[in-house]
């Protein structure tokens, strides 16, 4: 049964940062020791059913493109001979440190080719472009296979579990990192190349997976920090939806599902300074359309724009940004070459840090309450709980997480909503609806 006695001696936001970190580290040790069940047998099946045939398919395509029947796509010498000696490939990349980019066959060169920033013997131009696109797909499948299938199969212990290391102070923004293996990077169900990776993560026998996710925590934080009236109004009214309203405002009330998803993706990036060119490349949209969307966003949220300008100016003048939790982001060298990157990081820091630590503090309370936490990814917490305690545990997770902004920061004027999903594995989760939500 759950232990209702929570730690009430933590002192809220007055605790020094080092005490927060020590407290979080102790609770994360408990999470690490819980482990996460991994379905080795099904992972082998997915590897044989999906990964190996796809790699063989792309290997054959590369052989047809290059006209080399025995080509090994993993052989850098073979690819180098074809690209540079046979096809006369030239680009503007130069060797940097240990990277021999001038004659590389790696990712950087493929990106140059796909962007059209290269020359070659005229008769081989189409071949080079086709090769780059095909090899990118080959390397993507190979990476998924080595990271999430074969790589995790050999790491699974005799008890059928994976045990990773969580580090609550492993990133400059204050987000939790994990390694050996990295649970933060486990790709989602529905991934277009090899779906089903998260379905391999299972609950204990007789248990169910519960995932509790803060809803748009970073954007809600931006609304609070900036005091933007329009953005706050949306989040204070449970009947309104930022993403739906933005899609309707830009594309019209009859927006398509694809336009809604596009709008949602841009909403998360525009505040942090992603530009039209980046959106155009990421989402395959016209750059003019991306710029028009950015302009419409700032027109609707002018106070948010002013806040981003203030954060940029402060970082430039002081070389330092401090979050309410006490984390400091220092910028030791600021120059024309890195100013735009620093400005983006300065705006990003507080929202990401606050959302991360609201999640971490919630996790600590949940561990103290006796809930078996098995993972956390950014603003979500994953638990492995007895199936007869789903409702009880879900309500407690929701309550603790939604109260965290009030308890830690005194933010009682903007709700931080939490979505609860349950399922038989990490990849097949269905959202739970609660009365009154």
Count CA atoms within 13 Å of residue 114 on its CB side.
15
Residues 89 and 59 in one domain: yes
Q: Give residue 21's pLDDT.
A: 87
Residues 286 and 331 in one domain: no
User: Is residue 131 in a domain?
Assistant: yes
Residues 196 and 215 in one domain: yes
Q: Give residue 2's pLDDT.
A: 43
User: Is residue 305 in a domain?
Assistant: no
Give the whole-angstrom CA distance, residue 147 versus residue 150.
7
Which of residues 118, 153, 188 is at a domain's end? 153
Q: Give residue 399's pLDDT.
A: 97
User: Is residue 130 in a domain?
Assistant: yes
**CA 175 distance to own-chain centroid:** 11
User: Is residue 123 in a domain?
Assistant: yes
User: Is residue 270 in a domain?
Assistant: yes
Q: Give residue 191's pLDDT.
A: 64
Which of residues 300, 323, 350 is at a domain's end? 300
Residues 384 and 434 in one domain: yes
Residues 344 and 417 in one domain: yes
Residues 294 and 322 in one domain: no
Domain that holds residue 254: 241-300
Q: Give residue 11's pLDDT.
A: 39
Residues 200 and 338 in one domain: yes
Residues 31 and 50 in one domain: no
Residues 199 and 295 in one domain: no
Residues 321 and 222 in one domain: yes
Residues 202 and 246 in one domain: no
* CATH number for 149: 1.20.1060.10
Number of domains in the chain: 3
Distances (CA, A) of 357 to 17, 245, 261: 11, 29, 27
| pLDDT of the chain, 437 residues: tens digit per residue | 444 333 333 434 457 888 888 999 999 999 999 999 999 999 999 999 999 999 999 999 999 999 999 999 999 999 999 999 999 999 998 877 667 888 899 999 999 999 899 999 999 999 999 999 999 999 999 999 999 999 999 999 999 999 999 998 878 888 999 999 988 888 765 566 788 899 999 999 999 999 999 999 999 999 999 999 999 999 999 899 999 999 999 999 999 999 999 999 899 889 988 888 888 888 888 999 999 999 999 999 999 999 999 999 999 999 999 999 989 999 999 998 899 899 999 999 999 999 999 999 999 999 999 999 999 998 999 999 999 999 999 999 999 999 999 999 999 999 999 999 999 999 999 999 877 55
Q: Give residue 137's pLDDT.
A: 94
User: Is residue 66 in a domain?
Assistant: yes
User: Is residue 234 in a domain?
Assistant: no
Q: Give residue 436's pLDDT.
A: 58
User: Is residue 388 in a domain?
Assistant: yes
Residues 202 and 264 in one domain: no
């Amino acid at each position: 049964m759950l232990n209702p006695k929570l730690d009430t001696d933590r002192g809220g936001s007055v605790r020094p940062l080092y005490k927060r970190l020590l407290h979080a580290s102790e609770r994360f040790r408990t999470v690490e020791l819980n482990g996460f069940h991994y379905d080795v047998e099904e992972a082998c099946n997915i590897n044989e059913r999906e990964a190996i045939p796809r790699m063989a398919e792309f290997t054959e395509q590369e052989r047809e493109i290059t006209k080399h029947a025995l080509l090994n796509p993993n052989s850098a010498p073979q690819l180098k001979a074809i690209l540079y000696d046979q096809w006369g490939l030239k680009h503007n990349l130069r060797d940097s440190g240990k990277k021999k980019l001038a004659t590389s066959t790696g990712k950087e060169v493929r990106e140059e080719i796909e962007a059209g920033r290269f020359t070659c013997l005229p008769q081989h131009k189409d071949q080079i472009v086709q090769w780059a696109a095909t090899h990118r797909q080959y390397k993507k499948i190979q990476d998924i296979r080595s990271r999430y299938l074969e790589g995790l199969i050999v790491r699974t212990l005799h008890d059928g579990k994976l045990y990773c290391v969580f580090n609550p102070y492993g990133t400059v923004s204050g987000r939790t990192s994990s390694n050996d293996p990295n649970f933060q990077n486990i790709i989602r169900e529905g991934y277009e190349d090899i779906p089903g990776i998260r379905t391999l993560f299972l609950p204990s026998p007789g248990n169910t997976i519960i995932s509790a996710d803060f809803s748009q925590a970073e954007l809600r934080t931006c609304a609070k920090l900036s005091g933007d009236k329009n953005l706050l109004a949306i989040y204070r009214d449970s009947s309104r939806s930022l993403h739906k309203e933005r899609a309707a405002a830009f594309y019209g009330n009859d927006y398509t599902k694809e336009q809604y998803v596009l709008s949602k993706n841009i909403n998360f990036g525009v505040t942090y300074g992603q530009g039209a060119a980046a959106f155009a490349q990421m989402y395959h949209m016209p750059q003019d359309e991306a710029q028009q969307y950015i302009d419409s966003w700032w027109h609707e949220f002018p106070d948010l724009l002013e806040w981003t300008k203030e954060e940029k100016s402060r970082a430039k003048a002081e070389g330092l940004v401090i979050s309410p939790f006490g984390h400091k982001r220092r910028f030791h060298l600021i120059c024309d070459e890195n100013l735009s990157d620093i400005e983006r990081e300065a705006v990003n820091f507080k929202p990401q840090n606050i959302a991360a630590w609201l999640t971490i503090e919630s996790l600590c309370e949940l561990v103290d309450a006796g809930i078996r936490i098995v993972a956390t990814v950014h603003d979500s917490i994953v638990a492995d709980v007895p199936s007869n305690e789903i409702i009880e545990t879900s309500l407690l997770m929701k309550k603790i997480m939604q109260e965290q902004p009030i308890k830690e920061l005194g933010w009682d004027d903007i709700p931080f909503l939490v979505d609860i999903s349950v399922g038989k594995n990490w990849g097949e989760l269905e959202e739970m609806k609660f009365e009154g939500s």
